[in-house]
Amino acid sequence: MTLEEAVNLTKQFTQKPSNEELLKLYALYKQATEGDNLGERPGGFDFKAAAKYNAWIALKGKDKTVAESEYVALVANLATKYIS
């Protein structure tokens, strides 16, 4: 399965994954498509943006192709839970 196919598969989920799963999907996707997070950490009380930033920054140094395969594997695993 390609990255694009995995992204399309997530759109077929009949239930929303947990926040932890969503953050992992987000971080792996961003690392696979953009590489290391070079942006500044969101400030203030934007907790959602801060959580996304922290999830992505935790993958710093992970190779894009490794992140892509982990994303595809995670989507395949979640599909068994969230596609009925």
> What is the residue whose two structure tokens read 């395969």?
69
Mean pLDDT in residue range 50-78: 98
8 Å CB contact between 26 and 56: yes
Q: Could you tell me the CATH number of the domain that includes residue 70?
A: 1.20.80.10
Q: How far is CA 78 from CA 6, 24, 26, 44, in A?
A: 11, 11, 14, 32
Domain limits for position 26: 3-37+45-82
Total domains present in the chain: 1
pLDDT given for residue 79 in this prediction: 97
Greater confidence, 12 or 43? 12
pLDDT confidence of 72, banded at 50, 70, 90? very high
pLDDT of residue 84: 80
pLDDT digits (tens, 9 = 90+) for 17-50: 999 999 999 999 999 999 999 999 998 799 999 9
Q: What is the pTM of this model?
A: 0.94
